[in-house]
Amino acid sequence: MTPIEPGIYFGLDEAIYHADPALGSTDIRRLRCSAADYWHHSALNPTRPSVEPSPAQAYGRAIHLRVLEGHDKFLQRYERTPEPEGLLVTDADLADWLTAHGVNKLPRSKAEKIVQAIGLDPQVRILSEFERRAAEAGRELLKRADYDRIITASNLITQNPDLATAFSNGFSEVSVFWDRADGVRCKARFDFLKARGIGDLKSTRNPLGLDFIDACRRAIANYRYDIQAAHYLEGRRHIPALLGNVQGDHDDDWLARVAATEEFGFVFVFFQADDAPISWACSLSPGNPILEIGRQSIEAAIERFKLFGSQFGPHEPWMLQEPVEELTIGELPGYYGRGK
């Protein structure tokens, strides 16, 4: 695809954003660990694996929509799966229903059974019909438990005065593209952009049963969300220089205030994706050493990007090429040899 020009994009399609080869925070986190893995998953690889959203990602997108864009937008996109009582799901369900309604010779296919059932009772409740009507209206059916949990969890966030302000007085899903001084193209997609900061909504799971706040702190360290925060704040700093190319529906006066605000921070709002719908937030303000560690990691990753790019070019796989060396005991994990 043609690279997206440096600028500020409101409402840019998510697929278009991800397809652009500019470096996002996920790319940088991959580069930090493995240039080969970065290239394999990047837009540079013409045979990169397709990524289908997992159930956890689909759930996260739904709660993002509810929190960031409101209940009306959520209802335009999602429906709750109907109650199970009297709902016909399988071919056997349809056959039993038709038999109970006096049909002696049953159609062979499920589709024919559906047509016959609707002909007998237009109000008959068939799951595939609910799914078809939802799809025609541009909506997706959510499992009842997921739908109810999303409403509960998002209400806990939006109705909490200490959390809701992270997602008010601004715009959601704002994408920025910029060129670094060294010529490396970068991008960031803010969950929520405000004049004085960026709000980011994160789902997390807690399989170890830790205190939820401790689980969130570990997630920041384990998944290097500090890199994301530092990278997004760097994109935020480029906004004044990008005002010459602003795309999508926006408020010029509001954007001018954003550009004029020189000090801003980053806020993570975590919600638990399983068990109780708990929420917790933390901020990273200017001068926080966590951001400096994130920035150092970004620079190391981009140096690796430039090194491998010059060595292999954009179109050949980036490979780890190390000479064969003798393995020493000190290079193995500390637990090696214990209990031998």
pLDDT of residue 339: 74
What contacts 39, CB < 8 A, 6 or more positions away?
Answer: 45, 308, 312, 317, 318
Half-sphere exposure in the Cβ direction for 307 (13 Å, CA): 14
pLDDT for 340 equals: 66
Q: 267 — alpha (psi -120 to 50), left (phi > 0) or beta? A: beta
Q: How confident is the model at residue 156 (pLDDT cuts 50, 70, 90)?
A: confident
Rounded distance between C-alpha atoms, residue 86 and residue 96, angstroms: 12
Res 272: pLDDT: 87
Q: Give the separation between CA 64 and CA 74, rounded to whole angstroms.
A: 9
Mean predicted lDDT score pLDDT of the chain: 92
Residue 337 in any domain: the answer is: no
User: What stretch of H or E contains 178?
Assistant: strand 170-179
- List all residues 6 or more positions away from 235 whose beta carbon is below 8 Å from its beta carbon: 176, 178, 186, 187, 188, 190
Residue 155 lies in a domain: no
Q: Assess if residue 220 is contained within a domain.
A: yes
149 found inside a domain: no
Distance CA(202)–CA(282), nearest Å, equals 11
> Does the residue 125 lie in any domain?
no
pTM: 0.86
**Per-residue model confidence (pLDDT) at position 191:** 95
In a domain, 100, yes or no: no
Cβ(269)–Cβ(205) below 8 Å: no
pLDDT digits over 104-155, tens only?
A: 999 999 999 999 999 999 999 999 999 999 999 999 999 998 899 899 888 8
Percent of the chain scoring above 70 in pLDDT: 99
**Residue range 83-97: mean pLDDT, rounded:** 94
CA–CA distance from 278 to each of 53, 54, 92, 246 (Å)?
24, 22, 40, 37
In a domain, 333, yes or no: no
- pLDDT confidence of residue 289: 97
Residue entry with tokens 């959520």 = 74
Partners of 80 in beta bridges: 142
- Residue range of the domain that includes 232: 7-52+161-310
What CATH number is given to the structural domain containing 292?
3.90.320
Number of domains in the chain: 1
Closest among 245, 279, 72, 286 to 166, alpha carbons compared: 279
Distance between CA atoms of 147 and 149, rounded to whole angstroms?
5
| 188 and 24 Cβ atoms separated by less than 8 Å | yes
Q: Is the CB of residue 204 less than 8 Å from the CB of residue 223?
A: no
Q: Which pLDDT score, from 0 to 100, does residue 163 have?
A: 82
126 part of a folded domain: no
Identify the pLDDT of residue 28.
97
DSSP per residue over 109-123, as a string? SHHHHHHHHHHH-TT
Helix, strand, or coil (residue 300): helix
| pLDDT for residue 309 is more than 80 | yes
